[in-house]
Structure 1
């Protein structure tokens, strides 16, 4: 069970070391999803038009970027460093931006430039096995377009795509800044689903800790603590980043869109508060486990002590009449054996009654 985790950790470390010694701005993919072909899809729309395209060349992508319509350029697969480098240069992205776009270890951030706003986030969602998928996501807002770099085809944007298809939707009547908001909102809203899963795990572990604390439960608690800390690392900074967008003086974000961004900010506050609670609960679970294990051990020791206390006088009686002396009067009594048994039984029952009245049993 542990060997794959060790191999994955070593592979992850080796990927990070690839950046060592390289000049700043060098496009270097640091994730584990290597050899993924970069696939670009474009959604071009306004209030009356809706176009979906699969550009075959970088030049076509640049054409859509400069379209008069609102454009969503979605780049799936970021391990092809040369392709990402060429695409970024054609789109006019800074080399440092391209470096962060493929650096999966980059913490969430927002950078504002004259012509665009660049953001790095972590897209978290559950796969078919109900396991959390951590996907690197980079979003760039231009005047009339949004460029998204993501590692996998799976994402949390299906709802946004459906809203764009609907002609009566609000998103069709607004610009690229609202599309940027809608994508970020989808990412943040999905954090609630992740937190719901964490809450469910905590409730399950609480029941197991109370009912049947086992070493396997302690291991699951440790895994949960690590998972909560990892989630917190990626989600916690988002509140501050959204706050920066709300206070931004960039001409790329309108006042109307900032009102919607404030709604994301409120969600981020709620998420961070929940995260803090779950972090404290996950840490207290181990204390509860240790306490219950100690109580369980105390109960065992209590039973053993009572059993030993009961048998001490019985052992004494048996020891006295087990001595090899000839002149022990009771040994020659006709009913001596039965009398000793009677004394031992009465002593046993008397001690049980005494312990019961003391609530020790």
Structure 2
């Protein structure tokens, strides 16, 4: 018998036979077997903000070699590379004296958030998270940030989107705090806007959880359970992605590098508070989704109990008429009522009176 849903469930593959579906494994915890390098990007976009207190220029570069002059430039520079290619990343790392281990991290895929400090370069890698409203799913993009004396280099996977527009807007404002700060403050600003976007994604997940709570109350069926399981996977994916970011920010707070000014440390402390709050909210959402599953089973049991209650009442009400029908359906000759002219009507009346009496008793006892 064919199996199919009338309405599509976001993220759930619609198939004709659910018993022949082979579940795809999307998690691989063995680094030796996992894919550690990425495919080269089809498109690369290079933008540079070269600025000081009084001036700021935004440039779009065509070749990676044009960024080399900013390695020792007197002004501060933010080099943002959208789309990662191995040759270009190697050339940048070689020119800006970035350690090969950090280069491997930039080129890797599926890395957990981390922070390293090698050869007077501070490096951090963390997820940039988006919420896909069409599929109600979490999209992850790996972002790598390298902090130097007078530059910050950011590597992104997707040239089409990011969350850095607030930072770009502040850089174009004369006298803004980011223009008066150093490269460490720029690095903080990038981390801050990434982590602030986590709260936006969590708001979207919270809306889906509230919607599922209403759905569980009114439609506790297998389709609703599939949606709950899908939402649970998205919440767990979000939690797993942001959990290591706390240690990443804590690494900046504990660092004694000369690249970080003591005055900027308090800003990293603020980011640390934000990521702690974000982790706490993610834990709450995870518990709420687990409670949704328990609520679903509770509602399902209540629905089943109501069905069994109705069936039990109907069976009980039909028992006396069935008994009478069975008695007078016996083929004995010596039954006085068989000779009665109105026996048929007396029997039906007796059945009706018994039904009414039983209904009155059940209602008085509050059984239905």
**Do structure 1's residue 95 and structure 2's residue 100 form an aligned pair?**
yes
Aligned mates of 2:34, 2:360 — CA distance in 1: 75
**What is the aligned partner in structure 2 of residue 138 from structure 1?**
144
From 256, 266, 271, the equivalent of 1:259 is 266
- Unpaired segments of 5 or more residues in structure 2? 1-11, 16-20
CA offsets 1:14-40 (integer angstroms, 9 cap, x no match):
xx87877xxxxxxx6337xx5422221
**What is the aligned partner in structure 1 of residue 9 from structure 2?**
none
Aligned mates of 1:42, 1:340 — CA distance in 2: 97
**What is the aligned partner in structure 2 of residue 48 from structure 1?**
54
Aligned mates of 2:131, 2:345 — CA distance in 1: 73
**Do structure 1's residue 60 and structure 2's residue 66 form an aligned pair?**
yes
Aligned mates of 2:60, 2:280 — CA distance in 1: 41
Aligned mates of 1:306, 1:11 — CA distance in 2: 49
CA offsets 1:293-327 (integer angstroms, 9 cap, x no match):
01110110011011101111110000111111222
Aligned mates of 1:332, 1:190 — CA distance in 2: 89
CA offsets 1:231-266 (integer angstroms, 9 cap, x no match):
111111112221221121111011111111111111
**What is the aligned partner in structure 1 of residue 344 from structure 2?**
337
C-alpha deviation, 1:62, in angstroms: 1.5
**Do structure 1's residue 299 and structure 2's residue 306 form an aligned pair?**
yes
From 102, 108, 115, the equivalent of 1:110 is 115
C-alpha deviation, 1:12, in angstroms: 9.0
- The question of whether the paired residues in 2 share the 8 Å contact of 1:18 and 1:30 is answered with no
C-alpha deviation, 1:359, in angstroms: 1.1
Structure 1 residues 341 and 11, CA, compared in 2 at 3 Å: closer, same or farther? closer
- The question of whether the paired residues in 1 share the 8 Å contact of 2:99 and 2:118 is answered with no
Aligned mates of 1:29, 1:180 — CA distance in 2: 25
Q: If the length of structure 2 is used for normalisation, what is the TM-score?
A: 0.89
Aligned mates of 1:290, 1:261 — CA distance in 2: 44
CA offsets 1:155-189 (integer angstroms, 9 cap, x no match):
00001000101113111111110000000000000
- The question of whether the paired residues in 1 share the 8 Å contact of 2:93 and 2:103 is answered with yes
CA offsets 1:127-171 (integer angstroms, 9 cap, x no match):
563643211100010011100000012000001000101113111
* SS at structure 2 position matched to 1:54: strand
Aligned mates of 1:158, 1:35 — CA distance in 2: 22
Structure 1 residues 232 and 11, CA, compared in 2 at 3 Å: closer, same or farther? closer
**What is the aligned partner in structure 1 of residue 178 from structure 2?**
171
Aligned mates of 1:17, 1:160 — CA distance in 2: 38
* SS at structure 1 position matched to 2:61: coil
Structure 1 residues 8 and 212, CA, compared in 2 at 3 Å: closer, same or farther? closer
- The question of whether the paired residues in 2 share the 8 Å contact of 1:171 and 1:178 is answered with yes
* SS at structure 2 position matched to 1:120: strand
Higher helix share: 1
Aligned mates of 2:61, 2:310 — CA distance in 1: 76
* SS at structure 1 position matched to 2:50: strand
From 77, 88, 109, the equivalent of 1:83 is 88
* SS at structure 2 position matched to 1:308: helix
Structure 1 residues 7 and 120, CA, compared in 2 at 3 Å: closer, same or farther? farther
**What is the aligned partner in structure 2 of residue 24 from structure 1?**
none
Q: If the length of structure 1 is used for normalisation, what is the TM-score?
A: 0.91
Aligned mates of 2:345, 2:43 — CA distance in 1: 92
- The question of whether the paired residues in 2 share the 8 Å contact of 1:125 and 1:156 is answered with no
**Do structure 1's residue 347 and structure 2's residue 354 form an aligned pair?**
yes
Count of residues in Structure 1 that have an aligned counterpart in Structure 2: 348
Structure 1 residues 230 and 11, CA, compared in 2 at 3 Å: closer, same or farther? closer
C-alpha deviation, 1:228, in angstroms: 1.1
Show the 5 A alignment for 1:185-204.
Answer: 185-204=192-211
Aligned mates of 1:182, 1:296 — CA distance in 2: 52
* SS at structure 2 position matched to 1:326: coil
- The question of whether the paired residues in 1 share the 8 Å contact of 2:138 and 2:234 is answered with no
